[in-house]
């Protein structure tokens, strides 16, 4: 077991490039990121069971020793980190900043933000791909508040800012990271106090975990897919011939090409709610988001569009 505690937390937002950023951290010799990703140790167990049963079954929440053992191979790296997007899923998951403050009051946090409408749509396809969503996109966005809440960045990040202060929370814009990763990462390394020159920038590539163009949409209300994911059926499936697997897949899903799905109404619905939320985030951080084309007409006039978001956290 490692006696050292993590001091860096990559807290989200989901579908905003956290896996990509974590990979970049792993390329620096002074930063150790634990595996697996998303240990979610500071999520209340009953909440974790609700939002991610598979990670709940991994059981890192059962003891601090089990959690700290994830960092046993950190060596002398000064930065020990973990990435758990479940830490910014209010109101379903609450109390995370207070639990981390009690664990390590000197912790630092990185929060990625992305065009809120694009993030919500990506979130929808993620849920479809993993068998948890079967509704048409507009219906899903209207009926399930998680899609909008996870994109409500001001609500998600405000408790961390209040508990730890702006100097310990760095917000990164997904679109800027993708366009110029080397420049963005140099600023992050400087903020962490590690030598940016020691990082290996040669591996910078495309974002991780991008949904494929064609995804399998669950049929029958998603019931067969959910049953298939239960531990008992998972064990039984190992004994089923591959041909039977394929037949069951065809019976319980339909293939959907994402580019064929009209999202115009979905974006209009999201814009109505997310535009004021984006303005709220701009006021909270003292910056604007010119990369978010969906919300350009809603930028606060008092905030310069050319000001870098990271200026608020120096």
Give me the mean pLDDT over the 48-56 stretch.
Answer: 94
Domain containing residue 198: CATH number: 3.40.50.300
Q: Give DSSP secondary structure letters for 271-288.
A: HHHHHHHHHHHHHHHT--
Does 223 share its domain with 195? Answer: no
Please indicate, yes or no, if residue 17 is contained in any of the structural domains: yes
Domain boundary (203, 222, 247) is at: 203
How far is the C-alpha of 314 from the C-alpha of 311, rounded, in Å?
Answer: 6
Answer yes or no: is 270 within a domain. Answer: no
Q: Do both 89 and 179 map to the same domain? A: yes
In terms of domains, do 104 and 175 share one?
Answer: yes
Residues 93 and 186 in one domain: yes
Q: Is the pLDDT of residue 105 over 50?
A: yes
Q: Is residue 2 part of a domain?
A: no
pLDDT of residue 131: 75
In a domain, 283, yes or no: no
Supply the range of the domain harboring residue 175: 8-116+151-203
* Residue 69 exposed, middle or buried by CB count within 10 Å (0-12, 13-18, 19+): middle
pLDDT at 284: 97
109 shares its domain with 231: no
Q: What is the band of 212 on the pLDDT scale with cuts at 50, 70, 90?
A: confident
Write down the pLDDT at residue 207.
57
| 16 assigned to some structural domain | yes
pLDDT 10s digits, 143-201: 999 999 999 999 999 999 999 999 999 999 999 999 999 899 999 999 999 999 998 76
The pLDDT of residue 203: 58
Instruction: Supply the pLDDT for residue 129.
Output: 86
**Backbone conformation region of residue 207, classed left if phi is above 0, alpha if psi is from -120 to 50, else beta:** beta
Q: Is the pLDDT of residue 298 over 70?
A: no
| pLDDT confidence bin for 245, thresholds 50/70/90 | low
Residues 6+ away with beta carbon under 8 Å from 26: 33
Q: Is residue 50 in a domain?
A: yes
Q: What is the DSSP string of 60-73?
A: GGG-HHHHHGGGTT
**256 in the same domain as 155:** no
As a residue count, the chain comes to 314
The pTM score is: 0.84
Model pLDDT, residue 301: 34
Q: How many domains does the chain have?
A: 2
- Among 8-12, 19-23, 131-135, 284-288, the least confident range: 131-135
Give percent of the chain above pLDDT 70: 79
Band of the pLDDT at 141, cuts 50, 70, 90? Answer: very high
Q: Does residue 75 fall inside a structural domain?
A: yes
Residue 221 domain-assigned (yes or no): yes
Claim to verify: residue 241 and residue 112 sit in the same structural domain: no
What is the three-class DSSP state of 12? strand
Q: At what angle do helices 264-285 and 153-164 cross, to 10 degrees?
A: 20
pLDDT tens sequence across 76-95: 999 999 999 999 999 999 99
**In this structure, are strands 253-257 and 214-218 parallel, antiparallel, or unpaired?**
antiparallel
- Residue 157: how many CA atoms within 13 Å on its side-chain side? 31
Mean pLDDT to the nearest integer, 28-43: 96
Domain match, 176 and 225 both: no
Under 8 Å between Cβ of 107 and 168: yes
Whether residues 166 and 110 share a domain: the answer is yes
């Amino acid at each position: 077991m490692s006696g050292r505690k993590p001091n860096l937390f990559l807290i989200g937002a989901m579908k905003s490039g956290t896996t990509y950023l974590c990979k970049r951290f792993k390329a620096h010799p002074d930063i150790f990121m634990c595996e697996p990703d998303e240990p979610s140790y500071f999520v209340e167990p009953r909440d974790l069971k609700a939002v991610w049963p598979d990670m709940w079954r991994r059981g890192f929440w059962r003891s601090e020793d089990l959690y700290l053992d994830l960092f046993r191979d950190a060596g002398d790296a000064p930065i020990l980190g973990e990435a758990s997007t479940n830490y910014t899923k209010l109101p379903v998951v609450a109390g995370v900043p207070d639990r981390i403050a009690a664990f390590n009051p000197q912790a630092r946090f990185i929060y990625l933000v992305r065009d809120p409408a694009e993030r919500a749509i990506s979130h929808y396809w993620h849920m479809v791909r993993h068998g948890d969503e079967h509704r048409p996109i507009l219906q899903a966005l209207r009926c399930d508040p998680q899609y909008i809440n996870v994109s409500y960045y001001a609500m998600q990040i405000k408790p961390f800012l209040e508990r730890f202060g702006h100097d310990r929370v760095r917000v990164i814009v997904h679109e800027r990271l993708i366009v110029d990763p080397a420049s963005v990462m140099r600023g992050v390394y400087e903020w962490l106090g590690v030598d940016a020159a020691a990082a290996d920038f040669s591996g910078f590539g495309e974002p991780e975990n991008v949904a494929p163009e064609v995804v399998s949409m669950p049929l029958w209300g998603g019931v067969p897919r959910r049953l298939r994911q239960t531990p008992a059926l998972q064990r039984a499936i190992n004994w089923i011939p591959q041909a039977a697997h394929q037949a069951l897949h065809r019976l319980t899903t339909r293939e959907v090409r994402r580019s064929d799905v009209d999202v115009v109404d979905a974006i209009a619905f999201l814009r109505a709610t997310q535009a004021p939320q984006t303005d709220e985030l701009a006021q909270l951080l003292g910056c604007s988001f010119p990369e978010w084309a969906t919300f350009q007409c809603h930028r606060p006039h008092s905030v310069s569009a050319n000001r870098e978001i990271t200026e608020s956290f120096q």
